[in-house]
A and B are shown apart, each in its own frame.
Chain A
């Protein structure tokens, strides 16, 4: 069930991101890119495999401050490490894209993609 919901959410995010990416307004384009990269992050997280969480599989619940012992079916830590890296990179890139769109506005006095394309 979780997998189906996640798949639907990721699909919807990609659709929304693509829709925004194809707009004429530069800020919407940046939004589209941000949403697409977040969708890729959610997808990356989902690639670790999804299992139903129980008391045995959730490390924090399991140990709860007393003697911690390693549970059998912990969540895959690798995808979480990957997604953290990807989030940081995506954050930096989005910030840069926003600053750049402001510079584009300063230079061209417009944020309309089709007007930008006409000038040489």
Chain B
């Protein structure tokens, strides 16, 4: 491999499309993780380093947003070739609108959860590995959003999962260890399936670089690739991503895992790691596999019902429709009957991911480029709202638990009167989840309904309506049972923490702000959706070299090994 890299000429890249800024968030969070690991004996220093790392991460993500995506003269996409290996030989990191949007979303929630964490852990816990693990979780999520290489995506998934396994088992009680064991088993199996898909795709296409893959699949005849085989293998990957996103029929791990993890981590599991699954589906479907020439005909014989087209997206869309519809129903119905706030929120996450997947499915099956764009914007805005609202709800559960010691609906009541500062953020987040204007949730729901209406899919609209009604039902039930009614002894003796309430207030303000000042958010999501479908720009920016450029020079084989060193 050294031989190949040293001989290949580094192509002149236009200024701005290659930037060290791309790797900055990963480096920052890695340094924060290692530093907080080393500072185990000084809990205060550890918290200081963690918070400083979080702040630096926010600055790096903001810089990426502005200089790469949003500034008037921004290139829109930037790459970083790790170790200066040209693509497709080396690992490529890519930031485009889609990655930047996802990073920003996660950064906001991540920092809120980090600040919150410093206030919920008792002194003994601050000496444990909580903060290093938190940063490793963030590292995995960040890496998954930035990488432009399929196998590297697998590696970042594993980094993210390893940290989340430990968080699910964090409290170490009977139900926590049991939940963690199920979670670990399922994800180990999923990792093996991921490897099968990755290995197969490499065997079929000869590359793992996403840009190279996109280029080769679009021109599969010239490269001698069977796109059907690649699509079949992508279906394996799709099931893995559906597990991460928690779509039915892969949702069963979610309720136990979310209830077992500390609430501020459940906020991240719902707000960040789920979105990694959604991101991977959008990225691989629209940027990588969309161009493959495959005739798909999914009509049911004799009925005339069904969809057909010449893109693998049809297949992805059909699969997503089924999974998303089932998720909305299973999640909504399941959430109505839970007996703890986390239980309701965990099932609600299953349903809400269905709401995110429906517009993705519409985007995949439509023939109109305009509708595809709109539907991806809808999915992204809904994902943003879900991250903010569900994150805030889980953090509120954390605050309720540290104030009252319980989160069971039967033991709560009258919280609104006892602690309005706890109730108001919960109320705002619930309304946003339901979709009341002018909160961020309204625009998410509005865009999702709008794309369903433009796709003229009446059954989808009915489904969305049922899902929305279920959302109202469970949100109202939680509110009535825990925040209204007679005060229970647990609520009577509640003591709240100022910093926790401040974090909740900031996130609630963010939900209102996103709703009131929706224009810039829409433009960001618009840029992200453009980037998601623009496979050509992605390929141009990464600029994968042709195999012929990487061949050894003809002037004697000995030359190759000599020049192989030193680079």
Which A positions have Cβ atoms within 8 angstroms of B? Answer: 21, 26, 29, 33, 36-37, 39-41, 43-44, 46-49, 67-70, 77-79, 81-82, 85-86, 89-90, 92-94, 96-97, 100-101, 103-104, 107-108, 116, 119-120
A45 vs chain B, min Cβ distance (A): 8
- Which of A68, A77, A78 gathers most chain B CB within 10 Å? A78
Of B44-52, B278-286, B358-366, B555-563, which binds chain A?
A: B555-563
What residues of A have a CB within 8 angstroms of the CB of B191 in the complex?
37, 40, 89-90, 93
Q: Is B172 interfacial (CB 8 A cutoff)?
A: yes
Q: Which of A39, A40, A89, A100 contacts B184 (CB 8 A)?
A: A100
Q: Are B200 and A47 in contact (CB under 8 A)?
A: yes
Q: Are B200 and A96 in contact (CB under 8 A)?
A: no
A30 to B178, CA, bound (A): 14
What residues of B have a CB within 8 angstroms of the CB of A120 in the complex?
175
Q: Which of B174, B192, B199 contacts A36 (CB 8 A)?
A: B192
Q: Are B557 and A79 in contact (CB under 8 A)?
A: no
Q: Is B203 interfacial (CB 8 A cutoff)?
A: yes
In B190-231, the 8 Å CB interface with A consists of 191-193, 195-196, 198-200, 202-203, 208
Interface residues on chain B, number (Cβ under 8 Å): 37
Q: Which of A37, A69, A77, A108 contacts B1 (CB 8 A)?
A: A77
Number of A-B contacts (CB under 8 A): 106
Q: Are A43 and B195 in contact (CB under 8 A)?
A: yes
Q: Which of A46, A70, A94, A104 contacts B177 (CB 8 A)?
A: A104
Q: Are A70 and B560 in contact (CB under 8 A)?
A: yes
What residues of B have a CB within 8 angstroms of the CB of A47 in the complex?
199-200, 202-203
What residues of B have a CB within 8 angstroms of the CB of A78 in the complex?
1, 202, 208
- Given A39-B192, A78-B202, answer yes or no on A101-B561 (Cβ-Cβ < 8 Å): no
Q: Are B180 and A100 in contact (CB under 8 A)?
A: yes
A71 vs chain B, min Cβ distance (A): 9
What residues of B have a CB within 8 angstroms of the CB of A89 in the complex?
155, 158, 191
Q: Which of B180, B188, B558 contacts A37 (CB 8 A)?
A: B188
Q: Which of A77, A85, A93 contacts B188 (CB 8 A)?
A: A93
What residues of A have a CB within 8 angstroms of the CB of B172 in the complex?
103, 107
A82 to B203, CA, bound (A): 13
Closest to A63 in B: B561
A41 to B154, CA, bound (A): 13
Q: Is B185 interfacial (CB 8 A cutoff)?
A: yes
